[in-house]
Amino acid sequence: MTALNLVPFFLVAVMLPCVLADGGLASCCRKISDTHVHRGLLTKYYVQRPPACSLHVVVFITVQKKRICADPYKLWTLTSKAYLDGKNSHAKKNDTQRKHTISRELQ
């Protein structure tokens, strides 16, 4: 096989993990939503970027498992990300403290 014949295989090998990690091309946001929900209804977010998907957006997941595709530079998006980052870091901190407490009790 020549090197030229290996190019398509290489491209598939490089792109496949990206596609599988985000749930495939079907889960890519195709447009930016103007929907704003209360931050208490958001559970997590992830950033969608090219080349895996065509748009650069922040995808919020609600408690009802709905996806909101938001503009990454809008104030609502930035403050909602900060809220979730703080909420999740606080939960991780409490979980770590709880594990330390349990391990001390077992000693």
Q: Look at residue 83 and tell me if it is in a domain.
A: yes
User: Which residue in the block uniquely carries the two structure tokens 């330390």?
Assistant: 100
The secondary structure of the chain as a DSSP string is: --HHHHHHHHHHHHHHHHHHHTT-GGGS--S-------GGGEEEEEEE-TTTSSS-EEEEEETTS-EEEE-TTSHHHHHHHHHHHHHHHHHHHHHHHHHHHHHHHH-
pLDDT at 87: 84
pLDDT tens readout for residues 56-102: 999 999 999 999 999 999 999 999 999 999 987 766 655 555 555 55
**Range of the structural domain that residue 66 is part of:** 28-106
Contacts of 43 (CB under 8 A, 6+ apart): 61, 62, 63, 84
Q: Look at residue 48 and tell me if it is in a domain.
A: yes
Q: Look at residue 69 and tell me if it is in a domain.
A: yes
Q: Look at residue 63 and tell me if it is in a domain.
A: yes
The total of structural domains in the chain comes to: 1
| Residue-averaged pLDDT of the chain | 78
pLDDT at 16: 47
pTM of the model: 0.61
Q: Look at residue 61 and tell me if it is in a domain.
A: yes
CATH of the domain at 48: 2.40.50.40
pLDDT at 27: 87
